[in-house]
Chains A and B, each alone.
Chain A
Amino acid sequence: MNLKLKIWRQKGPKDNGKMVDYPISDISPDMSFLEMIDVLNDQLVEKGDEPVAFDHDCREGICGSCSMYINGEPHGPGRGITTCQLHMRSFNDGDTIHIEPWRAAPFPIIKDLVTDRSAFDRIIQAGGYISVNSGSPVDANAIPINKQNSDEAFDAATCIGCGACVAACKNASAMLFTSAKVSHLSLLPQGEVEAQKRVLAMVNQMDEEGFGNCTNTGACEVECPKGISLEHIARMNRQFLGAAISHSPEKGGGGGE
């Protein structure tokens, strides 16, 4: 098929960017979206032009690298997938496709479609862990965990840190991402010990990074490739309120230490 691509080109963090047109032909419907960009890039290199920069690595929907808006939607059309899992059969011959980087102040653009998402790492560093050293922990089966909690914790833990939730939100809120981690750990007995301190520290860091407030539009859940549920936001809000009232930092157990 033949397509008209309109792609955001920006040389560096301080440069002005603009949309540039690239017609492309002979695209197979079996190609993945990123393979289509590979084809374009090889053509650009052959002409001596700079290829379009974009993050990608696993190309199977798990590393969370391949973030971009496609026709205004994070990761393009289709639910529950990342860009690398999108195939060209989702488009029609002759289509015009707009491709842009995440637009959110806490994710500054590095080049073309590549953004800096290290704010997410700092949220995790603020408390997204259980304070246990390597060494000799208790036997893994010493503490049974009921299957429902364990499954729910797992569902929350499948977040890939892609940032689509932030990109989808008109307030650039990181509530879905943060709450997924909070839920995952607080649903497990091992993580519950530090739950109060954790939620305060992570929410605080989220605010410091400049992510916006949650106004319950639900756009994040719709665009999340891993189907992370809004229920986690509700749970986090409850935990946050509870912790804000009862938690005294001096006595705190772990998170954010």
Chain B
Amino acid sequence: MSEFREKTSIVDARIPEGPLANKWVDHKNHVRLVSPGNKRRIDVIIVGTGLAGASAAASLAEMGYNVKAFCFQDSPRRAHSIAAQGGINAAKNYQNDGDSTYRLFYDTIKGGDYRSREANVYRLAEVSASIIDQCVAQGVPFARDYGGLLDNRSFGGVQVSRTFYARGQTGQQLLLGAYSAMSRMIAKGGIKMYNRHEMLDVVLVDGKARGIIARDLNTGVIERHSAHAVVLASGGYGNVFFLSTNAMGSNVTAAWKAHKKGALFANPCFTQIHPTCIPVSGDHQSKLTLMSESLRNDGRIWVPKKKDDPRKPVDIPEDERDYYLERRYPAFGNLVPRDVASRAAKERCDAGYGVGASKMAVYLDFSDAIKRMGEDVVAAKYGNLFQMYEKITDENPYKTPMRIYPAVHYTMGGLWVDYNLMSNVEGLFVLGEANFSDHGANRLGASALMQGLADGYFVLPYTIGDYLADDIRTGPIPTNSSEFDAAEKEVKDRLHKLMNNGGTKPVDYYHKKLGKIMWEQCGMSRNAEGLREAIVEINAIREDFWKNVRIPGSADQFNQELEKAGRVADFIELGALMCQDALDRNESCGGHFREEYQTPEGEALRDDDNYAYVAAWEYQGAGVPAILHKEELHYENIKMVQRSYK
């Protein structure tokens, strides 16, 4: 029983009837369509130009809708998706290793520790192959073999090679593909692009999402934009931890504003801590750098068998090394899923076997791979990652093992959406990392790019029509209504408050404080007592922030400190909700590890009888516990079992 207020209403995901493999095709055949002539009369706002937003914007504009797209960077091409390294999954079975739609579906459900929706995940696996076709047609230069055909690599948590990649810059190449498709539609007038604009609220008219309030970041001018539907593709919220692998600007503001207007926030505590990142080097650190998971294909992870071994790693003989992943998980070895690999690293470091100055790191060693394949082959596969590592640490990974440690990387939680990717607020759609998505309690590597592009190229273009079919006679949505007045006033009042509270502390001071609490109490392992304390502390940070933060300059100009302040204010409220969610979920699953619930071997212990649901939270006010709604998860095609990678 939850200790929080719970609504008996069960949220309905509106999953189509029929056998799993036919649901999507049948659904597509039966959704309502908007005729080409009518599409011209319909406006759609898309917030975000990462893979999810850019692919959606291009696709909807090609279909004939009037799209207005927003991003806070100076160009859509710089969205956070640009940084994705390792690859994108697709069930193409080009390697003839037994891959199939079903297998990708099964791996994703299992990898997510049985906390995702079967119908959505199946659809994702189903459209995955088309994504690769689409991207190649756009000119995405995926890696190829000497026969000129596409190459694949394998990623954690699976036993097939289904990951397509473009050296270590897959996200860049996919995003440039989507950005070029967008650019084409911008030139044709199908998309109006608003760079350096930040959405600060969503506007509801008669309960439907009909527009946004945005701030022009160059001038500080507050603008009203209306549309028949609003699509949020604003990315994940890993920066609630201050330190993460996310880009500095990644934030929860768009999603949080929607949440405050009634959109349910689902599974907020499901966070992915990525096992292979460059360890923290000091207090000055502003972000953490990921070393792609693809490195675990050929690199071996180990720590010395002896505590505080003073020797250099190259001087430690083979039999005095503990390849703890290979030891604990012989079937998957270094390729266990991320949550498992991260916890295993933490376990070794907490037990005193960590390496490096901080002792909070483990080795990722390529010496065997170099012996086996030669330095050239290793360089061709991972050269840019090795170079990146060397630039940051001043150490050469060809000569000495990398030091790595887990870091916050991805958020599986996000706004709740139904099968059509619409939130419980009518006309508000959510795509990509911003929705609670298809990854359950843990995402498999190379599946975020797949999901973002699936949502934008292949799902939303069909499902949004079903909603917009009612709007062909609505006409343009006016922006002079009382609803727009009220939303604009709220935004302006809040900015005014931030600018004029007479405080003394920079925004980062609060962000770092929040991040520390989140990392310690709501990070790789959590317990009830710590989470309760964290909620109290976070509420205190919120009060202090609104009294004592200082933002120089004015709101009517380019003001990055003000941008940061708005984002951190929302992170603080989100942090409290994440702790509440983690506290409510009295089980361990995927990335959510509650110390009270583990097997004797220290593996996550799920409680399917009581927690096989999506926790969808309803906002009640800052500092007030949210109300829990449940979406029960039904597994009709897969049997729920204890995950095992042994």
Which residues on A are within 8 Å of B, measured CB to CB? 11-12, 28, 30-32, 34-35, 38-39, 41-42, 44-46, 48-51, 53, 55-65, 80-81, 85, 87, 89, 110-111, 114, 116-118, 120-121, 124-126, 128-141, 144-147, 150-151, 153-154, 157-158, 160-161, 184-185, 188, 190-191, 256-257
The smallest C-beta distance from A29 to any residue of chain B, in angstroms, reads 9
Mark each residue of chain B from 62 to 77: 1 if its CB lies under 8 Å from any CB of chain A, else 0: 1000000000011111
Is B148 a contact of A146 with CB atoms below 8 Å?
A: yes
Residue ranges of B at the interface with A (Cβ–Cβ < 8 Å) = 55, 58-59, 62, 73-78, 80, 82-83, 92, 94, 130, 132-139, 141-150, 166-167, 169, 172-173, 176, 179-181, 183-184, 186-188, 193, 195, 218, 247-249, 281-282, 284-287, 289, 387-388, 391-392, 394, 457-458, 461, 504-509, 550-553, 557-558, 560-561
B505: chain A residues at CB < 8 Å are 46
**Shortest Cβ gap from A42 to chain B (Å):** 5
User: Do the beta carbons of A138 and B137 come within 8 Å of each other?
Assistant: yes
Whether B184 contacts A64 by the Cβ 8 Å rule is: no
A130 touches which one: B76, B94, B139 (CB < 8 A)?
A: B139
Chain B nearest CB, measured from A33 CB (Å): 11
Other 10 A-B pairs with CB < 8 A, given A45-B551, A133-B62: A59-B289, A62-B172, A63-B82, A89-B394, A116-B74, A129-B184, A130-B137, A132-B134, A154-B166, A257-B187
In the complex the two chains form, is A57's CB within 8 Å of B552's CB? no
Pair count A-B, CB < 8 A: 220
A121 touches which of B75, B137, B145, B506 (Cβ 8 Å) = B75
A146 and B92 CA atoms in complex are apart in Å by 20
* Contact of B73 (CB < 8 Å), options: A60, A65, A134, A154: A65
Q: Report B-chain residues with C-beta under 8 Å of the C-beta of A87.
A: 391-392, 394
* Whole-angstrom CA separation of A65 from B76 in the bound complex: 12
* A134 near B134: Cβ-Cβ < 8 Å: yes
In angstroms, how far is the closest chain A Cβ from the Cβ of B430?
A: 19
Chain A residues whose CB sits within 8 angstroms of the CB of B58 once the complex forms? 134
B282 lies within 8 A of A28 (CB): yes
User: What residues of chain A lie closer than 8 Å to B557, measured between beta carbons?
Assistant: 11-12, 111
Q: Is the CB of A125 within 8 A of B184?
A: yes
Q: Could you give 29 example pairs across A and B, Cβ below 8 Å?
A: A31-B282, A38-B508, A41-B561, A42-B506, A57-B78, A58-B248, A60-B289, A64-B78, A85-B388, A87-B392, A89-B394, A110-B558, A111-B558, A118-B195, A128-B180, A128-B183, A134-B62, A136-B130, A137-B133, A137-B136, A138-B137, A140-B92, A144-B147, A150-B148, A153-B141, A154-B173, A158-B172, A184-B141, A257-B188
Asked if A138 and B133 sit within 8 Å, CB to CB, the answer is yes
Check if A161 sits within 8 Å of B75, measured CB to CB. yes
Judge whether A147 and B144 touch: CB under 8 Å: yes
Q: How far is the CB of B510 from chain A (nearest CB, A)?
A: 12
Q: For residue A124, which residues in chain B have a CB less than 8 angstroms away from its CB?
A: 179-180, 183
Which residues of B sit under 8 angstroms from A48, Cβ to Cβ? 550, 552
- Beyond A58-B83, A147-B148, whether A191 also contacts B139 by CB under 8 A is yes
Which of chain A's residues have a CB closer than 8 A to the CB of B82?
58, 62-63
Q: How far is the CB of A199 from chain B (nearest CB, A)?
A: 15
Closest to B58 in A: A134
